[in-house]
């Protein structure tokens, strides 16, 4: 972090030494690590392991709401307590409001996995920002996301949404003011703090985009969901003992 601002890749799925070195080489101050189907304490522990004086890794949760066939993704930063996947969208949003988390919408309107304009309007008072770019976007995805942001008046962000280490730092947000810790990042997002939303360009970026897009097939397959979630009680299944039945009234599985 510098005194002149704070540059962060707000959504990555991978975290190891290679990721950290690439983030530093890209000039990032921080990453938000939000892997799929992983409980918050485990995310926090791994984030701490890979944080140092040069780079801070913050924990996040990309929550899968609704059923697999009609799922909607919501990215939460600043959670104090665990929230499982596969709750109703309304139940998830209510819990995020209760905890005061920053609520981000990744890839709005993208395929069948995110919120559309009607849902953005419904939860306008809970949502803090819309993602207007990640390397998986095609031009019409970017145009649509920016249109959604304009229609709702919501702030915007970009991220690498990196599922592959080489994509780290391909898109980022640069806040005008320094961010000291997780609470400050959450506040900056919730308060629509001034920021610049940017991404790389050129042939290498195009290559990274292609590799990430090719990764989508398995990432969104029923086979993966069946293996991860339905073969026993997965760590972020609402029935897991970690949630003590707290979400039984709003779970969909």
**How would residue 197 be classed by pLDDT, with cut points 50, 70 and 90?**
very high
Distance CA 142, CA 133 (A): 6
Tell me whether strands 30-33 and 56-65 are parallel, antiparallel or unpaired: parallel
Whole-structure pTM value: 0.93
pLDDT in tens, 42-51: 999 999 999 9
Find, among 10, 50, 37, the residue nearest to 234 by Cα.
37
- CB contact at 8 A, 165 and 138: no
Whether 3 shows a pLDDT value over 80: the answer reads no
Where are the chain's structural domains? 6-243
Q: Mean pLDDT in the chain?
A: 92
- The residues, any chain, with a CB within 8 Å of residue 36's CB and separated by 6 or more, are 13, 62, 64, 228
Q: Computed over its alpha carbons, how large is the radius of gyration of the chain?
A: 17
Q: In what order do the strands lie in the sheet with 6-12?
A: 155-158, 129-133, 102-105, 72-77, 56-65, 30-33, 6-12, 171-175, 195-199
Distance CA 186, CA 199 (A): 22
Is domain 6-243 in CATH 3.90.1150.10, yes or no?
no
Q: For the chain, how many residues are written?
A: 253
pLDDT value of residue 78: 98
- CB contact at 8 A, 77 and 63: no
State whether residue 102 is helix, strand or coil.
strand
């Amino acid at each position: 972090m510098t005194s002149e601002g704070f540059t962060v890749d707000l959504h990555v799925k991978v975290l190891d030494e290679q990721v950290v070195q690439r983030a530093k080489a890209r000039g990032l101050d921080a990453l938000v690590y939000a892997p799929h189907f992983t409980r918050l304490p485990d995310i926090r522990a791994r984030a701490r392991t890979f944080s140092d004086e040069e780079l801070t890794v913050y924990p996040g949760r990309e929550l899968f709401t609704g059923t697999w066939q009609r799922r909607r993704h919501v990215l939460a930063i600043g959670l104090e307590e665990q929230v499982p996947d596969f709750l109703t969208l309304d139940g998830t949003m209510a819990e995020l409001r209760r905890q005061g988390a920053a609520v981000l919408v990744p890839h709005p309107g993208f395929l069948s996995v995110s919120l559309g304009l009607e849902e953005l309007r419904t939860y306008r008072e809970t949502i803090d920002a819309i993602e207007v770019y990640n390397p998986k976007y095609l031009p019409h995805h970017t145009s649509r996301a920016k249109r959604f942001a304009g229609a709702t008046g919501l702030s915007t962000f970009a991220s690498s949404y990196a599922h592959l280490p080489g994509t780290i730092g391909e898109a980022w947000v640069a806040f005008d003011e320094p961010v000291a810790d997780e609470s400050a990042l959450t506040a900056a997002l919730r308060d629509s703090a001034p920021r610049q939303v940017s991404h790389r360009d050129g042939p290498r970026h195009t290559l990274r985009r292609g590799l990430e897009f090719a990764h989508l097939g398995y990432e969104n397959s029923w086979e993966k969901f069946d293996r991860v979630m339905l073969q026993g009680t997965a760590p972020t299944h609402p029935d897991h003992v970690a949630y003590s039945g707290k979400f039984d009234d709003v779970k969909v599985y």
